[in-house]
Structure 1
C-alpha cells in the first residue's frame, strides 16, 4: 500500500451530478426524493447525530431544514441517494462559548433543545477516526463549499448581493450579470531532502514539539514546482533543485488543495524567516522515524497521519 493511500479528507464517494445543475426538473426530483439526506454546519463545526453507540454526519434533509437552514447545496449522490449541505444559524447553539484555541478545537457543543445532536471540530473527527472515511470526505467538501458561499454573498465586481444558482455551485449577480464559482486554493507542501536528512519547520500555532514540511500558497502565474522553490527559499533560505509532485489532498481549512512535493536541496545552510517559522532544522532519518514512533529523545513529533505532510515523510522513510 502506498503511503499516500487513504489520506484524511480524500476518498469522496459522491457522483457530483454536475450535468444536472441546470436541469430544474431533475433538481426538483432529487430534492423531493424520500432518500435525500444532508450534512449541516454551525459556523465551521459539523453537526453530528447520535446513532446508536456512535455518530453520523448524515441527517434526513427535512430534519436539517427544520433547523432554519440556508439554501442547501447539492453535493452529489451516493448509492443511498442525494446528499445536500446546509449552513445553520449560530443562534441555534445552546450557548455561545469563546472560540476554541489550538491546532485542534476540543469543544463539544450542543444545539438548544436537541440532545440528539452534537457539534465537533472536523480536524478532531478525522484524527480520532470518529466517522467513516467517506463521511469525513463529504464533510470536507461541504465545509469548503459552504465557506465559499459565506464569503461571497456580495459581488466582488460591483458590490451587489448575489444569488445562489446551479444547485449551489454558482452565485449570480443580478446587478452586473457576473457569475462566480467556488474556488480551491492550491498549496505547495514540500519535503526537501539532502542525503540522509530532511528539512522541516514549525509554526507557533503547531502542537508543542511538532515539526512539519514547509508549505505556501501558489501565486498567480506560478507553477507548483516554482511555488515550492520560492516558499522553501523564503522560509528557510534553502535553495531547491529538482522538484517532483507525489500526491495531493483536499484540505478544508478553509478550502485548500495540498499538493505534496519532494525536492532536492542544493545546500543545507538555513536562514530562517522568523516571521513565518518558530524553528527550522534538518532531521536525520533515524530522528524522523523516532518522531513518528513517539520516542524522539527530546519529545519532538511528526504530523498526524491524516496530513499529507506525514505521508511525504513516510514515503521518504520507505527509501531507507
Structure 2
C-alpha cells in the first residue's frame, strides 16, 4: 500500500509544471512567484515568494481571480513575441541569467507561446501612451486674408457665401530606425501633433504602420467645418466674404515604443527543483515573467521616425456688401 501511494505521488509531481510570475493581491502585499499546474487534477496552486500557499484554483477561478497575470492578447497594437525577438531585447542576458540563477543551467529549449499554454504566452505591443512628436526648430508661417465670392440664389437678390473654418494638418514620415520587436506586423499608435499654428493646444490622431517599414507612413487631422451664409445683396452692390488663413511648415521627429510582456519558457532536458528549494518539486518546464524580471527599458524596442508637418488654420470670417 505504501509503494502504491508513493508511486501515485511521483506521478502527480511529473504532471505539474511551475510558472513563475508576479502578482500583488488586493488582500495581501505578498508577491506570487510561481503557479504550478497539476494536469492530472486540473488544479492550479499559487505560491507566495516565501513558499506559502496563496490559493488553489480551477482553470476558471484562476482566470477570474488572477487574470492580471495572463499575457495581453494580440490585437491591432500587439503581435506574438517570437524567441528570436525575445533574444534581441536589451535585457535578454538578464532574463537568461535569471533562469540560470533560479532553476539552474544545463540543457534547455527556449520557447514562447507554446500550444499547451496559450494563455501564458508572450506579446510585443505598442506602448499605450501617445507618441509626442517634437518639432525640429521653429515653424515657417504665412498669413493672408482670402476673398470668398458668393453665388446668386434665385431671383430675389440673395447671395450664398460658402467657406470653411477650423484646423487641419498633414505630415509625411520616414522611418529612420526599426525594432526587432513585432517584425512583419501592422501596428496602430496614437500620435500627438504639436501646436504648429498656435491654436492653443496640440492635437492627437491615430496612425497605422508596418514594422519594419521602408515606405514610411502619414498622419492627418482635419477639423475644418464647412459653413455657408446667405445675404441679401442690394442692387448695384457686390457681397464678398473674407477669412484669415495661417499656414505653417516645420520638421518633426518622434519615437514609437514597443514593449514585450508575458512569459518566456525554459524547457529543461531533465527535471529539477528550483535552486532555492532543492527538496521541492521537480519539473521540466519553467516560465519567467518578462515584466517581473526586466525594467520597461530592458524589454522595449523603438521605431524612430522623422518628417515634415504642415498645418492650416482658418478663422475670423466676415462678410460685407460694397
| Normalised-by-shorter TM-score class | under 0.3
Bigger proportion of residues as strand: 2
Q: TM-score, normalised by structure 1?
A: 0.23
Bigger proportion of residues as helix: 1
Q: Looking at both structures, which has the greater relative contact order when contacts are Cα pairs under 8 Å and sequence separation is at least 6?
A: 2
